[in-house]
A = this chain, B = another copy of it.
Amino acid sequence: MNDGRLGTQVRIVGSGLLGTSIGLGLREHDVDVVIDDASPSSARLALDYGAGRAPASGDAPGLVVVCVPPDVTAAVVAAELAAHPDAVVCDVASVKRGVLDELTALGADLRRFVGTHPMAGRERGGAISGRADLFVGRPWVVVRESAEPAAAGLVEDLILDLGAVPVFLSADQHDRAVALVSHAPQLVASLFAARLRDGEAAALGLAGQGLRDVTRIASSDPALWVQILTANADAVAGVLRSMRDDLDAVLAALEDPDAGGSRRALADALGNGNSGVARIPGKHGQDNRFSQLVVLVADRPGELARLLTDIGAIGVNMEDLRLEHSPGAQIGFAEISVLPEAEEHLTEQLEARGWTISGSTT
């Protein structure tokens, strides 16, 4: 058991990825977590997974966390505020202004409401993807607006107990920020990935890490994203309009590459990209909590098991493992994530056992 800051019963409404992960994380601090969901089968999975217990008569939550799709968030928050008049209610929806406006229109008690948005997620949703450590080290936006200080403090305790970093923004600041760093990139990835539908098979066979990275988030759930994009349409459109203008300039340069100024226009587009990407804090392209080792593995049954047996014998805990294998090659790559302090020891010990480390992935 690990004492957390929260000293109250927590009711989670919605047992998808976020609700389940919040429940798992709070259970590590022995918080009394109640999980409720309009879908009994979804709730069942979260309960089996250990994210909390089913509702019971006499439940008296001090904090309700609403983790439902964006387009029903305001209605569920209003219902929870009414049903639990002594509780603080927060939501986790990806857009904050629209929820506030709807709640105002519904006449909800905004002194007990705190809008939040954890900047964490996974490609796959659902309780099955829930993780207690989903929020560790991640920013978690808090929009106080009309909330009383005690209400905001309770939500801040929730966030700190889950290992996340509270970031206080206004609703409008938040919505502009996520348009730039989350919503517009989602559409750009989807719009580019759509080009691959008509590509020749030979072309797809040449795909490397660059293409995989640019398009990775294009596998996100369209129904959820239509809700998010619709709720933040103005801000997202602003970002994409400026991209469209630059895209038109690049297209003009490509359509007449020998014209005066065409090479300059391309160089400017690439140079501006350099400047932009340099503004992203921290290490690029990887989960910066872990170091990645790439080990060459012969494409034979049993080789990967032998590698994992060796890693177990060396006594290092793998945080993640991914296998990459090119069709036709006699060899694959196992990308192993470990805590940074374990990397050197693991590399030495694996090499001593005859494994080839091909470096860290780029």
Contacts and interface: CB of A to CB of B under 8 A. Distances in A.
10 contacts: A131-B328, A138-B326, A138-B329, A182-B208, A184-B192, A188-B214, A230-B257, A236-B254, A299-B317, A304-B308
A9 interface: no
Given A131-B326, A309-B305, A333 B243 contact: no
A256 to B, nearest CB: 8
A193 B119 contact: no
Nearest to A359: B131
Contact of A251 (B139, B225, B241, B361): B241
A322 interface: yes
A266 B226 contact: yes
Given A180-B199, A219-B278, 7 more contacts: A137-B332, A187-B250, A196-B279, A209-B287, A222-B266, A222-B267, A229-B257
A355 interface: no
B318 A323 contact: yes
Residue from the set A139, A169, A186, A223 with the largest chain B CB neighbour count within 10 Å = A139
A215 B214 CA distance: 7
Which of A119, A136, A192, A271 has most chain B Cβ within 10 Å?
A: A192
Contact of A276 (B167, B195, B217): B195
A70 B169 CA distance: 48
A24 B328 contact: yes
A82 interface: no
Given A28-B328, A189-B273, A279-B204, A301 B312 contact: yes
Contacts of A167: 202, 205-206
A276 B215 contact: yes
Nearest to A361: B124
Given A137-B329, A163-B331, A193-B276, A212 B266 contact: no
A315 B209 CA distance: 29
B240 A214 contact: no
Interface in A218-239: 218-220, 222-223, 225-226, 229-230, 233-234, 236-237, 239
A347 interface: no
Given A188-B188, A218-B277, A219-B278, A181 B247 contact: no
Which 3 pairs show the lowest CB-CB distances between chains A and B?
A132-B328, A190-B273, A302-B312
Given A205-B139, A277-B218, A328 B25 contact: yes
Contact of A191 (B130, B210, B246, B254): B246
A147 B204 CA distance: 26
Q: Which of A207, A269, A277, A309 has the most CB of B within 10 A?
A: A277
